Amino acid sequence: MPNINILTVDDSVSMRLLLRAALTKEGHQINEAEDGVAAAEWLEHHQPDLVITDINMPRMDGFGLIEHIRAQPRFRDMPILVLTTESTAEKKARARAAGATGWIVKPFDPDQLNSVIRRVAH
């Protein structure tokens, strides 16, 4: 599989480190943002292949970030995965309605995460 450029968005430093370890091991290029505002600013000048975002973050949560990304035509087809401790049907439906491609519950299994990435990244 070709190297995938991934933006991970999570306010937890330890979660960003876990994601970096799991994803770089597969050869992916990782960029990181600590919340939705930082991610939105980074996305103004970059075009990743995939975004993985948490839901509960300060300044701009994952729902707001997904809506922000989907409002831009150049990101219309980019996969967005939600990686969160949340697992309610209501939150999943809200993320899907905002434009999320998939949902993974923390703690994540690195092999499962990479399998999902292979399925959604083109």
The one-digit pLDDT tens for each residue of the chain (122 residues) are 568 999 999 999 999 999 999 999 999 999 999 999 999 999 999 999 999 999 999 999 999 999 999 999 999 999 999 999 988 999 999 999 999 999 999 999 999 999 999 999 86
Structural domain contains residue 118 = no
* 78/87 Cα distance (integer angstroms): 23
**Does residue 121 form part of some domain?**
no
CATH code, domain carrying 103? 3.40.50.2300
Q: Is residue 61 part of a domain?
A: yes
Full domain range(s) for residue 86? 6-110
115 contacts: CB under 8 Å, gap ≥ 6: none
pLDDT at res. 87: 87
pLDDT of residue 2: 65
**Non-local CB neighbours of 5 within 8 Å, separated by 6+ positions:** 28, 29, 31, 47, 48, 49, 50
What's the rounded Cα separation, in Å, for the pair 97 and 35? 20
What is the reported pLDDT for 113?
93
Residue 86 confidence (pLDDT) = 85
Predicted confidence at residue 122, as pLDDT, reads: 65
Contact between 40 and 53 under an 8 Å Cβ cutoff? The reply is no
Residue 88 belongs to a domain:
yes
CB proximity list for 87: less than 8 A, separation 6 or greater: 105
- This prediction has a pTM of 0.95
Q: What does the angle CA 112 – CA 84 – CA 6 come to, to the nearest 5 degrees? A: 60
Asked, for residue 117, whether it belongs to a domain, the answer is no
Tell whether 16 is covered by a domain. Answer: yes
In a domain, 116, yes or no: no
Domain contains 122: no
**What pLDDT shows up at residue 27?**
93
Domain count for the chain: 1
